């Protein structure tokens, strides 16, 4: 089993154990603060600074989607993953289709 697969399974098992004790929002907060976003960035604040040189409050939706792809256990190609994240946001009603249509990949 590859190291990435071991890490993914370890994370899933940890979440299952925590799910009995904490709310989903609390678990997400724990994960955001320790997730590995690459380039030596652990946690959301460090990732935003490392990848985009800004604070999380100034992060755009396009940039947030780039970071979301970095956490995908399937490790999709960055642009395809970015498209999938934003399309999913439209499907869930979290992003207007017209806004999605005007977005440009920030990579």
Model pLDDT for residues 2-29, shown as the tens digit of each residue: 666 777 788 788 778 877 888 888 877 8
pTM assigned to the model = 0.74
**Domain range holding 83?**
3-101
DSSP 23-61: -HHHHHHHHHHH-B-STT-BSHHHHHHHHHSS-GGG--H
Segment 43-56, tens digit of pLDDT: 999 999 999 999 99
- Residue 22 domain-assigned? yes
Segment 67-107, tens digit of pLDDT: 999 988 888 999 999 999 999 999 999 999 999 999 999 97
Q: How many domains does the chain have?
A: 1
- Residue 15 domain-assigned? yes
């Amino acid at each position: 089993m590859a190291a990435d697969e071991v890490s993914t399974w370890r994370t899933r098992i940890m979440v299952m154990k925590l799910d009995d004790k904490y709310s989903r929002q609390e678990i997400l907060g724990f994960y955001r603060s320790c997730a590995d976003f690459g380039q030596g960035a652990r946690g959301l604040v460090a990732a935003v600074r490392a990848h985009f040189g800004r604070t999380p409050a100034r992060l755009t939706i396009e940039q947030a989607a780039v970071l979301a792809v970095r956490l995908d256990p399937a490790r999709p190609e960055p642009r395809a993953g970015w498209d999938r994240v934003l399309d999913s946001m439209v499907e869930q009603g979290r992003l207007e289709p017209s806004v999605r249509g005007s977005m440009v990949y920030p990579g």
